[in-house]
A and B are shown apart, each in its own frame.
Chain A
């Protein structure tokens, strides 16, 4: 599963649209599953997904929407019940989509994509509008698909979603790739981070931290915040222990992925 992340206007939706044949490229070449994409509005076999909303017809029921799409492709209705079940919409299968919430529409869009048994699934903000239970449900579906060999490319603004789902991410900023690789590498790319430090003796801890090279001391007396890279942080912890100061909590103020995101995209903190 590959995550696509970037600030607003970075080009995530455009890139996903290109993958799905829904956008026109100004320049460059695009290959999907090993074959060049020659034109717009042509979706290679084995690719499914949605951007800018799942493209549903509100006057039709969930089942009718899926049946109509299956019929357009010349497929039967065999997989419809299973697809609806996978996304947890079996109970409302015969309700008109007009009454669906945003999250239900997202799940129905995912069901429509699943119908084609894709080898590459492209999703734009699939958890958009979902409640926590719905998000977990969709995560389970995507994880299951990935386990069965389907490549999943998804965009999200939520770093926790990407951290939970993706093995790799691509970071876009102003239409350019600023990072692409394993999530661990992205976190490691982050240089100095801010850490919240709780100790048994805040005054002593502040004094010790001020003496450690490459460690900046921020924050109030009660909650000490230090800015450091990982090696300097290790040094600080060892010095605190030697000074007899108990370390009760040491946690990044901003998650490493988020910090990396902010650092690499130049977004204001």
Chain B
């Protein structure tokens, strides 16, 4: 007995926990070993390139998606179509797949207690899992971005891009704006990932935890379709998923995007902190644990609802936005500007004498639904008359547009004549027929500028 005691060292119950980087590496290995994530990685790296390459060469382009109508003209448009689609579904689904399952997987496998015993620190496990999730999500998002850009550049080439106010971004400017747009959507992705972590922590092995970010995305998309006040719209964590469009106007509409990013950072912090708090309070010795049940409402949903209310209050207090953020003066100014830019482009295509936007002195007058309807808010019943002047001529040109204005501030202008200006989808150039830039185009108004500033 004495011999044994002499040779057996006393246990070190206070041995230091496993370093975060080691646990992080372990979590990365586990995530990347899962076939759904491997499949997603392959799809994100190849899918966008193939889609852009194929669609860009077709005569029928996805013109209902922002920048879709320009896919045949520049390689940068394809990446933006991928970005728009990713923001609707792909990124929320990827956050569901990765962050929504990173904690729940241990519940399903019954490995929590073994992991905790090996690492000796719940705090470090949380940090490692959160970091590993974000790393994989970033990797997937990077794959989407790089693939979309590569597909567009390979299929169409590095050409200038028409912005959402009709101005032409040089290839370099387009590259910068596209990259910035992809970077900007990392903020809402981060917010959705934090919500995914929260769902994964609170709902245990229930499959509900896995779909929380996707469910949130669906609810927020429906909300974005409704005629909500602009302060509520911008306070939703999904707003930055559409706010990046403001980077493609001159000057850039950075206000809504920055507000959306600030909201997303707040959501990421609050949802992450809630997930951490609930994770640290969990009793891991209870092998029958199966989520928090109804306590989720009080401990997770209510704080996020309070955050939403606080965000609405903060945006209302710091901006002068009101109502839907869409009114006649904004549309008049936006349409006149966009028309002028695109008219200059059409003039170049037709090899007519050069003209500048300043020389055109374009103007627009929009009306919503006739005299009995207030000229505010979204709708497809906006009708506008655009006027312009050509240098050396006393005549005033005019053209009619029907506008379909969506609640997020984007609108599609559909030319209604005259035919030689905006009434036909092609123009005849010296080298053959070319798409008529004035026939249909996308543009957007800044929702956060004051309505009376028109």
Which residues of A are interface residues toward B (Cβ below 8 A)? 17, 20-24, 32-35, 37-47, 50, 52-60, 64, 68-69, 71-74, 119, 149
Taking CB atoms and an 8 Å cut-off, the chain B residues in 6-25 that contact chain A are 8-13, 15, 18, 22-23, 25
Contacting residues, chain A, for B18 (C-beta < 8 A): 72-74
State which of B41-49, B111-119, B196-204 sits at the interface with chain A.
Answer: B111-119
Judge whether B5 is part of the interface by a CB distance below 8 angstroms. Answer: yes
CB distance from B34 to the nearest CB of A (A): 5
Contacts of A47 in B (CB 8 A): 11
24 A-B residue pairings within 8 Å (CB atoms): A22-B114, A38-B13, A41-B117, A41-B120, A41-B122, A41-B284, A41-B285, A42-B117, A43-B120, A45-B11, A52-B287, A55-B110, A55-B111, A55-B113, A57-B111, A60-B29, A60-B30, A64-B29, A64-B33, A68-B30, A72-B18, A72-B26, A74-B18, A149-B4
Q: Once bound together, how far apart are the Cα atoms of A38 and B30, in whole Å?
A: 31
A33 to B8, Cβ gap below 8 A?
yes
Q: Is the CB of A69 within 8 A of B110?
A: no
User: With an 8 A cutoff between CB atoms, is B109 at the interface?
Assistant: yes
Q: Is A55 within 8 A of B33, CB to CB? A: no
A54 to B109, CA, bound (A): 10
Q: Please, which residues of chain A bring their CB within 8 A of the CB of B5? A: 34
B283 within 8 Å of A (CB atoms): yes
- Interface of chain A, main secondary structure: loop
Return B287 CB to nearest CB of chain A, in Å.
6
* 8 Å CB contact of A35 from B13, B23, B26: B13
**Given A34-B8, A46-B8: A69 touches B13 (CB 8 Å cut-off):** no
Task: Collect the chain B residues with CB atoms within 8 Å of residue A38's CB.
Answer: 13
* Chain A residues positioned under 8 Å from B8 (CB to CB): 33-34, 46, 119
For window 395-413 of chain B, which residues contact chain A by CB distance below 8 Å?
none
Complex CA–CA separation, A53 to B287 (angstroms): 11
- Across the interface, do B111 and A40 meet the contact criterion of CB distance under 8 Å? no
What is the number of residues of chain B that contact chain A, defined by CB distance less than 8 Å?
A: 35
CB distance from A259 to the nearest CB of B (A): 33
**Min distance, Cβ B24 to any Cβ of chain A, angstroms:** 11
Rounded to whole angstroms, the CA-CA distance of A149 and B5 in the bound complex is 12
How near does chain B come to A129, taking the closest CB pair, in angstroms? 15
Q: A46-B9, A50-B114, A57-B109 are in contact. List 12 more A-B contacts (CB 8 A).
A: A21-B117, A22-B114, A34-B10, A38-B13, A41-B117, A41-B120, A52-B113, A55-B113, A59-B33, A59-B35, A68-B30, A69-B118
Q: Are A72's CB and B11's CB within 8 A?
A: no
Q: Which residues of A contact B111 (CB under 8 A)?
A: 55-57
Residues of B within 8 A of A64 (CB): 29, 33
CB nearest neighbor in A for B19 = A74
Q: Is B25 within 8 A of A71, CB to CB?
A: yes
* Nearest A residue (CB) for B18: A72
Inter-subunit contact B11/A41 (CB<8 Å): no
CB distance from A149 to the nearest CB of B (A): 8
Contact A35 B11 (CB under 8 A): yes
**Which of A44, A56, A59, A74 gathers most chain B CB within 10 Å?**
A59
Set of chain B residues within 8 Å of A54, measured between Cβ atoms: 114
Q: Which of A23, A42, A50, A59 contacts B30 (CB 8 A)?
A: A59
List chain A residues, Cβ under 8 A from B34. Answer: 59
Nearest CB in chain B: distance from A78 CB, A: 17
> Shortest distance in angstroms between B169's beta carbon and chain A's nearest beta carbon?
44
Asked if B110 and A42 sit within 8 Å, CB to CB, the answer is: no
Q: Which residues of B contact A73 (CB under 8 A)?
A: 18, 118
Nearest-neighbour CB distance to chain A for B368, whole angstroms, equals 56
Q: Which of B23, B26, B113, B287 contacts A41 (CB 8 A)?
A: B113
User: Complex formed: what's the CA distance from A94 to B394 in Å?
Assistant: 83
In the assembled complex, the Cα of A58 lies from the Cα of B12 at a distance in Å of 31
The answer, among A22, A69, A74, A149, for a CB contact under 8 Å with B113, is A22
Q: Chain B residues near A149 (CB, 8 Å)? A: 4
Known contacts: A23-B285, A41-B285, A71-B22. The answer to whether A33 contacts B117 by CB under 8 A is: no
Q: B119 and A72: CB pair below 8 A?
A: yes
- Taking CB atoms, residues of chain A closer than 8 Å to B23 are 72
How many angstroms between the C-alpha atoms of A227 and B34 in the bound complex?
A: 61
Chain A residues, CB < 8 A from B30:
57, 59-60, 68
Across-interface contacts of A69 in B (CB, < 8 A): 118
Contact of B33 among A23, A34, A43, A57 (CB under 8 A): A57
Known: A53-B110, A72-B26. A20 touches B33 (CB 8 A): no
Choose among A17, A37, A55 the residue that contacts B13 (Cβ–Cβ < 8 A).
A37
Residue contact B13 to A22, C-beta cutoff 8 Å: no
Nearest CB of chain A from residue B77's CB, rounded to whole Å: 38
User: B33's closest neighbor in chain A, by CB?
Assistant: A59
Chain A residues lying within 8 Å of B114, measured Cβ to Cβ, are: 22, 50, 54-55
Q: B285 near A24 (CB under 8 angstroms)? A: yes
Inter-chain CA distance A37–B8, complex, in Å, is: 17
CB distance from A142 to the nearest CB of B (A): 19
Q: Which residues of B contact A22 (CB under 8 A)?
A: 113-114, 117, 285
| Chain A residues positioned under 8 Å from B11 (CB to CB) | 32-35, 44-47
Known contacts A50-B114, A58-B109, A72-B22: does B15 contact A45 (CB below 8 Å)? yes
Distance from B104 Cβ to chain A, minimum over Cβ atoms (Å): 14
A74 to B287 CA separation, bound complex (whole angstroms): 27
A239 → chain B closest CB, angstroms:
47
Contact of B285 with A40 in the complex, beta carbons under 8 Å: yes
Q: Give complex CA distance A52, B110 in Å.
A: 8
Cα A39 to Cα B120 with chains together (Å): 11
Query: Of B9, B26, B120, which contacts A68 at CB under 8 A?
Result: B26
Q: Which 8 residue pairs of A and B lie closest in terms of their CB atoms, listed nearest first?
A: A44-B11, A55-B114, A59-B33, A55-B111, A22-B113, A43-B117, A41-B116, A24-B285
With contacts A53-B110, A58-B109, A59-B33 taken as known, whether A72 is within 8 angstroms of B118 at the C-beta atoms is yes
Q: Which residues of A contact B285 (CB under 8 A)?
A: 17, 22-24, 40-41
How many Å from the CB of A134 to the closest CB on chain B?
Answer: 22
Q: Which residue from chain A places its CB closest to the CB of B29 in the assembled complex?
A: A68
Q: Given the complex of chains A and B, what is the CA–CA distance between A35 and B13 in angstroms?
A: 9
Within B273-326, which residues are at the interface with A (CB < 8 Å)?
Answer: 283-285, 287
Q: Find the A residue at minimum CB distance from B12.
A: A45
Q: Nearest residue in B to A23 (C-beta to C-beta)?
A: B285
